[in-house]
Chain A
């Protein structure tokens, strides 16, 4: 079974630029999560999708971050414009159907904003 795929693996941008991350969850998984993990901290949930609907985006900085999951499969997370404090690893995870199921994590995208 293929795992959760993410790209790119690494990205370096200057502040005020924009960046987009892509995630392809495990086939058949209805729930998709985007997390931000700052060095030395645990992951912070940014947004959770159930199929193509948003379940929770309470911690997503909506003035600069946006995410979509068209057709309930792949998802993209965008930052525009980026700030220095956005430097982090962005993790995508998926589960069969919500938090009572095991989450499978992608390898993450390491973003450096200079």
Chain B
């Protein structure tokens, strides 16, 4: 069993749609990270959160510590949002990281 599970694995959306990617984890965490990886590109950190909600432009990340669940929302999606979105958690000691397998998002014009 993976410590971090993401859904869906693949997602295709029309430009302008509201998108939600979910992440569930089974370990105690100090922080949860949402990362973005473009094809052939490096990984960029979008959010790091340990409680509540964070917003950056059209991206919103929420976390529910009690339910061990986080969501990444993209409002008014755009083709340039097409990428793999990865959820990762750092454990309570901060010394271990677990990654989800990623959600591949394609936004069609």
Chain A residues close to B by CB (< 8 Å):
33, 40-45, 48, 55-56, 91, 93, 98-108
Contacts and interface: CB of A to CB of B under 8 A. Distances in A.
Does more than half of chain A's interface fall in helix, strand or loop, or is it mixed? loop
Contacts, number: 60
A103 B94 CA distance: 12
Does more than half of chain B's interface fall in helix, strand or loop, or is it mixed? strand
Interface residues of B, number: 24
Contacts of A100: 30-31, 50, 90, 94
A48 B33 CA distance: 17
Contacts of B86: 42-43
Contacts of A48: 95, 97
Q: Most chain-B Cβ atoms within 10 A of its Cβ — which of A43, A48, A93, A108?
A: A43
Interface string B57-70: 00000000000000
A44 B99 contact: yes
